[in-house]
Structure 1
Amino acid sequence: MYIFKYLLISIITLLPIYSSANNPVFTGVGIHTVQLHKTGWNQSMPIIHLNSQEELTLSFDEFAYDTKNYQYSIIHCNANWEESDLMQTEYVQGFMPNPVLDYQYSFNTTFDYIHYSLAFPNEDIQLKLSGNYIIKVFELGEEDKPILTRPFFVSESEVSIVPQIKYTASSSLRSSMQEIHFSILHPRFRIDNPREQIKVVLQQNGRWDNQMTELKPLFVRDSELVYEHNREILFDGGNEYRWLDLRSTRFAAEYVEGISFHDPHYHFTLFPDKNLGDRSYFYREDFNGKYYIDVRENRDPEIEGDYVYVHFKLPVEKPFLNSNIYISGGLTNWQMDTKNQMQYNVQTQMYELSLLLKQGFYNYQYLVQEQSNPHAEVSYFEGNYGQTENDYTIYVYYRSFSDNYDRLVGVNIANSLKYTLTK
């Protein structure tokens, strides 16, 4: 039985707790299909444990005929993705930058590209501290002009995180929202002032726009921090992701109206997508917005997967006046910018967008974002359902009064089906 040190009671004011933290994702012109995951598991989050044998793989394609002398370096960041006040030697064992040496030329594709890959930590660099990191790739001598940046995480196991995903007690939100409760257990890790020393980030699937950061424990018990804020840690349930199969250029999969070849490239025209916002919930297995590269007619998708133009269409009677519509998911790097913003076609009465994608299997959703609001809404075209299957990643950061960086002392990835939605 736990002995209370003291009890912290938070007055729930429903103040916004969504983060507008720096987004550490950047992709330069001509760079495509950037993937960062655990080596051998391409659907995984880029999270490894400190002082383990775990490894991450970064890969990307560049539309080019000749290779470039690419280098990479790694930057330690605080919990808000700002560069830490650390010397490079404090968090890396080895020297930087280092070359990206593994590359292959595309074969028998309509787009000529070079596929680069890199596994790390490796013989050149080892990571000495936990926390948030950014890897950036650039041409030799141009470190201040990266061609891409991607975030990754190095975690300690100082705390355990016990999550629970449930229907909210509010009857008006019960059918559409998911409420997240969790406890942080630290029996062998001293935390003197949890409200000041602990920072928690809560992320739904891979989205950055609606992640929560300003969370404080409701109860502080002996070796336990309890986060049970009714009506505060709430996420839109959303809906299962739509899917798109581009693995074959010969046979049109479901939702593909037609495949055409306009010399020299392939075009996939999709059937107009339906508005799911006013329909009943229906479970469909998905990847929660992720994708994987694959081809039907060839053997090596990394270099034999072609790039094709995919034409999306979303019927809407009238254009939105003060909001934008975006295609969201791993296929657009979870970003909301001009590259994945749909444009309204008055003649067809549809929002339309063409994306250049590598052959594979993709998940996506349509998000609506008011121009003055960084948090996008999923409900309008996808619907909101409390029983939707989602992944929630809980990051726990710790900084003592003598530390000069944020330690990532625990991570938990909770699936809403595994951690059963309780009534």
Structure 2
Amino acid sequence: MLKIRLIYSILSLFLFCNSALFAQVEKEIPPPFHIKTVAFVQNDQNKVPIFQLGEGFQLEFDDLYGNEANYYYEIVHCNFNWEPSPIPKIEYLQGFDNQRIQDYINSFNALQLYSHYKLSIPNQFTQQLKVSGNYILKILDENRDVVFSRKFILFEDLATVPIQVKRARTVNTLVSKHNLDFSVKSNSLTFQNPLKNVKVVLLQNGQWHTAIQNIAPQYTIGNDLIYKYDTETQFWAGNEFLFFENKDIRSASNNVARINAKTDIYSAYLYTSAARANTPYTFMQDVNGGFVVNNLNAQKNEIEADYVWVHFSVSAPTFRLNKNIYVTGMFNNYALTDENKMDYNPEKAIYEKAILIKQGFTNFQYTIADSKGNIDYENAIDGNFFETENDYTILVYYREAIDRYDRVIGKGNASSINIIN
């Protein structure tokens, strides 16, 4: 019996070492066309998926096939670099995953048939996520193939992150970038070798594709880590998000020019946007890329809000044709996919795209990227202005010498509405 246990332990150690050696970075997989309105929800509001350890939340999405298909879920804990952590699932998850999502309901009074799914964490099978850090939530079909996946982060309240948003310190980007000065403080932890064991991630409006990482502390004062860089912590400021509102799909409202009701599903044609890069900055209230599902005549928006073909168009005569323009926002997870790529109309000399979107209030932006998905922030169609109001989040990761995974020990937030010189 002792020999069997010894062999089992050696095999387990070999498997963990082997999996760590060949671990691949987990990337978000965009959903297929029939999966729409994927959102993390907390207290009935769409959220950037950064939650405190122990808090409950939901992942919700619609299946336009409306056939009550069976979907399953898997939760994977990852290290700072989004490689799966070399710890067994029992150490970070109390209960089980790989269970069928049982909370779903079909649409009601909507032209577009769909099934609305809701996965609550925790639930009767997954009672608790026990450790902080990076997570990948995978939605699987009946064959256990991944339909789509989303990142989320759980953090502990063990460190504070005071942040100041400042104008850039470099002359050539003085009016077009934001710079973050911040520090990491903790009364609960004594940082061991912070240059190696502490890592930070800087996020603008919750977007991972613009994240700044691997910034070491510039210096320390006791147990406080100080970050006051000139260029390493700068973001292109961008411009305020554009928006449209169609909570009543039968009438044109905010930024909707006209409605076409002669098709099976309503079409909403937005006013053509003009490139704002070479015009003065104008303040426009936004929700930094977010969206709200809303049907003015409904009682239960999640199943009574309808889908609409939203027709986007932008006039960008000086745009360079060797790159692509995408319509992005939280509503499509800023995905640079063909479904969101605009087409050039030579007769009208504008870029156009029709996207199926659930009705309500939606922020969006026009994103320039090459064929490899590299985004051109500097030459953004709508420009970069230091006056732009952005939300910034800083996550602090920590791994002591004896730890086998990266914890998220603190989170800081700031808005550039309070920018200083």
Question: Normalising by the residue count of structure 1, what TM-score does the alignment of the two structures yield?
Answer: 0.89
For 2:35, the aligned partner's letter is I
Name which of 27, 33, 37 aligns with 2:37: 33
1:47 aligned residue: 50
Equivalents in 2 of 1:172, 1:303: separation in Å? 50
Change (3 A) 1:309 1:373: closer
Equivalents in 1 of 2:29, 2:217: separation in Å? 30
Q: Please identify, of 162-171 and 124-133, the stretch whose mean Cα deviation from structure 2 is larger.
A: 162-171
2:133 aligned residue: 131
> Any runs of at least 4 consecutive aligned residues in structure 1 with deviations exceeding 4 A, and if so which?
none
Is 1:266–2:260 an aligned residue pair? no
Q: CA deviation at 1:378?
A: 6.3
1:107 aligned residue: 108
For 2:141, the aligned partner's letter is E
For 2:138, the aligned partner's letter is K
1:189 aligned residue: 189
Is 1:24–2:28 an aligned residue pair? yes
For 1:250, the aligned partner's letter is R
Equivalents in 2 of 1:213, 1:318: separation in Å? 33
Equivalents in 1 of 2:350, 2:314: separation in Å? 5
Equivalents in 2 of 1:187, 1:94: separation in Å? 33
Secondary structure at the residue paired with 2:213? Answer: coil
1:90 aligned residue: 91
1:206 aligned residue: 206
Kept in 2: contact 1:177–1:235 (CA 8 A): yes
Q: CA deviation at 1:318?
A: 6.4
Equivalents in 1 of 2:372, 2:115: separation in Å? 39
For 2:135, the aligned partner's letter is Y
Secondary structure at the residue paired with 2:336? Answer: coil
Structure with the largest fraction of helix: 2
Secondary structure at the residue paired with 1:147? Answer: strand
Is 1:158–2:161 an aligned residue pair? no
Kept in 1: contact 2:274–2:316 (CA 8 A): no
Kept in 1: contact 2:40–2:46 (CA 8 A): no
Change (3 A) 1:22 1:87: closer
Kept in 1: contact 2:58–2:118 (CA 8 A): yes
Kept in 1: contact 2:240–2:388 (CA 8 A): yes
Q: How does 1:322-341 map to 2 (within 5 A)?
A: 322-341=322-341
Q: CA deviation at 1:181?
A: 0.7
1:229 aligned residue: 229
Kept in 2: contact 1:209–1:376 (CA 8 A): no
Equivalents in 2 of 1:227, 1:240: separation in Å? 27
Kept in 2: contact 1:72–1:138 (CA 8 A): yes
Q: CA deviation at 1:137?
A: 1.8
Equivalents in 2 of 1:90, 1:29: separation in Å? 35
Q: CA deviation at 1:47?
A: 2.3
1:62 aligned residue: 63
Equivalents in 2 of 1:286, 1:94: separation in Å? 40
Q: CA deviation at 1:122?
A: 2.5
Task: Render the CA deviation track for 1:183-202: whole Å, top value 9, x for unaligned.
Answer: 00023312221111111111
Equivalents in 2 of 1:88, 1:275: separation in Å? 49
Q: CA deviation at 1:248?
A: 1.1
1:13 aligned residue: none
Kept in 1: contact 2:26–2:136 (CA 8 A): no
Q: CA deviation at 1:226?
A: 0.6
Q: CA deviation at 1:381?
A: 1.9
Q: CA deviation at 1:306?
A: 0.8
Q: CA deviation at 1:167?
A: 1.2
Task: Render the CA deviation track for 1:134-156: whole Å, top value 9, x for unaligned.
Answer: 1122234x32x122211111111
For 1:208, the aligned partner's letter is W
Secondary structure at the residue paired with 1:263? Answer: coil
Q: CA deviation at 1:74?
A: 0.9
Kept in 2: contact 1:368–1:376 (CA 8 A): yes
For 2:30, the aligned partner's letter is F
Kept in 2: contact 1:237–1:384 (CA 8 A): yes
Structure 2 residue runs of 5 or longer lacking an equivalent are: 1-24
Identity across the alignment (%) = 33
Kept in 2: contact 1:72–1:135 (CA 8 A): yes
Equivalents in 2 of 1:353, 1:338: separation in Å? 10
RMSD value over aligned CA atoms? 1.8
1:312 aligned residue: 312
1:116 aligned residue: 117
Equivalents in 2 of 1:166, 1:72: separation in Å? 42
Q: CA deviation at 1:166?
A: 0.8
For 1:89, the aligned partner's letter is I
Equivalents in 2 of 1:382, 1:94: separation in Å? 48
Kept in 1: contact 2:28–2:148 (CA 8 A): no
Kept in 2: contact 1:23–1:208 (CA 8 A): no
Change (3 A) 1:62 1:304: same
Task: Render the CA deviation track for 1:195-222: whole Å, top value 9, x for unaligned.
Answer: 1111111111132222111211111221
Kept in 2: contact 1:319–1:344 (CA 8 A): no
Kept in 2: contact 1:175–1:385 (CA 8 A): yes
